[in-house]
Structure 1
């Protein structure tokens, strides 16, 4: 270890034979990481909120289907799901559609990663939303119905606004996990941040892996901290005075 040649300026050096610089590769990887994570989060938040709400409805068939969805996507490892979406699905679909997915679909790696990560995270979001709704006093549901609201209106105007205030802290963790889990997308060829790190340390700068890995770790740390502060700001702005929500004392 004492003979290790430290070179923290490696990131500013030119990549041999490419005319590019290492920092440009990391910036490109960061862009794909953010795009993948944010796109997947939109899917996860919308779909997870819907599935989590359905799980609390009195219709046992709908609640059962929603529960099956959560158990399916939550209990299969993310990397396995990505492989299934990317490699298996085109083979089991009708030939014309499968050929389109393999040859003509724009940005197939990125789209597959967004869908796979979004569905995986949506199952976790659904569980948080369900927990938030179930944590509310039953009197709130009855009060909405007593006012003449339909079931849908009771959820929209009474239950969900309060439930989301409760689940903001656990949703913060899920939002941060989306950015960290996006690293798995390198397995299907998305050139995100971890992919670029492996490429730099494996093929172009194998003599300086510690510096590059440290820099990438700092970038992930900054992203996670930024998400944490953003969600903390949202929690402060949406909390109900006098109401004990998640993370409140």
Structure 2
């Protein structure tokens, strides 16, 4: 004889909808929080639109298509005052990206050297590196920017008395002038260089897998150096050698032609590199010290020199500790570049400030700046997180 179990589905349904159920309480709290955030956003938006309408200020991004009417000192792409506000803001964004990339690369190299110097067995080198790091980290970045800008602009002569250490190289208070290249071959050379970098990266990954499988190393550095030299030359040859050297020359009160590095760009680069390298040095030092002493002793027992031990044994393990805080330093470089407005470098903040002063579109201008820095920061974070996952230890 079988007995039928009593049905408990109504009771269970009541329990699922009871306030004692943690899931129900969690859903209610999250719904209330979401409604509160939506109400706050609606209030701020409606209040802003009402204030703009009261002052007869039109909203929207239609001003981006209007003529800008102001010049920009440094333009990585073609730009004239007759171009639109949208193109002017693009120029400012490219200037921000240019200085950020240069500073990230140089600050990483300098910071790594300083971090290694801090760990040196030489007492003088270790103490000098420590004094540099502690001094630079505790001086405000804005003050350092003013210092470098004053040094560059006040300690160099005018264009007519410019220093000429090498043929075609002039240093004055207007900046550094260098010989440049011009011609149709530049696109081919740039394409060859980009292809060489891509092939070098693929070669490095392939050589690493081959070394793990068979233990046979490949001369990656020699092959990569050959590619970096041969492919740009091949691009130059295929283009018909349409390339000419553009030498800077004095005309009036300034130089014409060649490549120009402005004092503002130089001061901003120096300030960001010096400031950020001190923080990166501490990141590198802590990462190296996180590797156990036994790794050093095992490498020395195998007969490896200190340099090879550091390069082949210690740094690959320290990278797993170094990369996360290093990502924060790269993000700080990009965000700190907004201080460029204080010394007159035309980054995106400076260009948007000029734009909103002319158009009155303050809200839209701030939104553009926020979106630009958010996009750049997210791109850096995604790239560094991908690299961090690549080097992370895989548990078996």
Q: What TM-score results when the alignment is normalised by the length of structure 1?
A: 0.89
State the shift of 1:88 in Å: 3.0
The 1:22–1:50 alpha-carbon spacing in structure 2 relative to 1, beyond 3 Å, is same
Where in structure 2 are there 5+ consecutive unaligned residues?
A: 1-47, 71-80, 164-169, 177-259
Aligned to 1:46: 109
Matched, 1:128 2:283: yes
Matched, 1:186 2:341: yes
Aligned to 1:107: 261
The equivalences for 1:51-90 within 5 A come to 51-89=114-152
Aligned to 1:247: none
The equivalences for 1:212-227 within 5 A come to 212-227=365-380
Aligned to 1:138: 293
Q: Which has the higher helix share?
A: 1
State the shift of 1:91 in Å: 3.9
Asked whether the 8 Å contact 1:11–1:212 carries over to 2, the reply is no
The 1:104–1:9 alpha-carbon spacing in structure 2 relative to 1, beyond 3 Å, is closer
* 151-160 or 167-176, which deviates more: 151-160
The 1:192–1:89 alpha-carbon spacing in structure 2 relative to 1, beyond 3 Å, is closer
Asked whether the 8 Å contact 2:152–2:267 carries over to 1, the reply is no
Q: d(CA) in 1 for partners of 2:392 and 2:344?
A: 41
Q: Which has the higher strand share?
A: 2
Where in structure 1 are there 5+ consecutive unaligned residues?
A: 244-249
Aligned length: 241
The SS at the match of 1:231 is helix
Higher relative contact order (CA 8 A, sep 6+): 1
The SS at the match of 1:100 is strand
Root-mean-square deviation (CA, aligned residues, Å) is: 2.3
Tell which structure's C-alpha radius of gyration is larger.
Answer: 2
Give CA deviations for 1:60-87 in whole Å, capped at 9, x if unaligned. 2211111111112211111111111111
